Amino acid sequence: TAAAAAATAAAKRVVVFGGGSFGTALAYRAAVGAGGRNRVVILTRNAKQASAMQRTRINPNYLTNAQYRLPDNVDVSTDAAAALNGADVIIHTIPTQKSFEYLSKVRHLIAPHVPIVSASKGLEMDTLEYMSQIIPRALQREQQCGFLSGPTFAKELVENQPSAAVCASVPAEGGVASMVSDLMAHPSFKVYISDDVVGVEVGGALKNIFAIASGCAVGLGLGLNSRALLVTRGVREMTLLAVAMGAHPQTLAGLSGIGDLMLTCYGALSRNRSVGERIGKGETLAEIRASMNEVAEGVATAPAALQLAEKLGVVDQTPIIKAVADVLADRKSATDAVTELMARPAAAEFPPHLLEFGAAAAAVATATATAGDGGDGGGGGES
């Protein structure tokens, strides 16, 4: 099996940037993966949290139940230099909006040969950049990177519930993606691989916007018909925007696209869905933010995605993204947004010009991958 093969690989020193729920969950997956022989360090800036986690083996702020105890091969530290000394791989879980600042401060401690696996999902508001662009800008150099995404609630990952994700890198086979697949191989968790970095990143980022929309529908008291409509048309918008950026359309039909979208739109554990639900019930965004101890990335991603759609000339085809951005900016109510979306004229579900656009973009991405020029677009899919 893949897990058995991974267990024979060399043990690695894994450093996880961020002590939130997802950082803790990925530290757990790295610790129990590959036969449980990896050494894992969670790097956090919160000294009180680090001390408590090291002493009790439980994250006092997230995943606080005793069943979520950290394995013995996980340490917690606030000392970046000590944590990164001898690191074989870094897993980055810092929120996207804070990632440039964080990485800039530790770049002198990161060896050029150490791969970074980003599990941060989002689009930077000021630059409209994804993590594949933010990381080299922050480090001021190119670095081996992989991008991990998929339907993975932190709580269920540490409960060893059967789960899967996809990691994208160029190349995928024999690259960072394959390494991550081996690193985390376990009977309860598998990591598929892809060479479509853009597709995996776009899916992971944009699904949070549609989760907010789905939550608004719940808050307004709308039923499953309405939510299914939002999710399905959300897939269309997500795919359109991804393909416009050079992604392969089939990637958005995989774990990082439809898979993650379904989880966040229907799962009660989704922070983004919770934000939307509370907005639908009448709370203000300021009130919601004040009561949350973790970031809902979709709040920042929505206005950035709207700008990106405008830049790429597809904004007329992304009405849900625009509606969510308008609601978050208090330019319209959730009720008015739903009314306006339903007032749009019915037309062909897949207009011919959009199908031609998608086919042309996919052909370009495939040709780029075949030429081997190192571009982010690739054959796509989950190997």
State the Rg of the chain over Cα: 20
List the one residue out of 274, 268, 267, 298 whose CA is nearest residue 288. 274
Give the number of other Cβ atoms within 10 Å of residue 154's Cβ: 23
Query: Which residues touch 33 (CB under 8 Å, ≥6 apart)?
Result: 6, 183, 184, 185, 186, 189
The verdict on whether 207 is a catalytic residue reads: yes
DSSP string, 97-119: HHHHHHHHHHGGGS-TTS-EEE-
Stretch (H or E) spanning 265: helix 260-266
Amino acid at 106: V
Query: Which residues touch 109 (CB under 8 Å, ≥6 apart)?
Result: 80, 81, 84
Backbone CA torsion sign across 190, 72, 23, 108? negative
Stretch (H or E) spanning 16: strand 13-17
Compute the C-alpha angle 175/177/178, nearest 5°: 70
Backbone CA torsion sign across 358, 363, 368, 372? positive
Structure tokens at 237: 């918008």
Residue in 12, 121, 207, 322 annotated catalytic: 207
Indicate which residues carry an active-site annotation.
Answer: 207
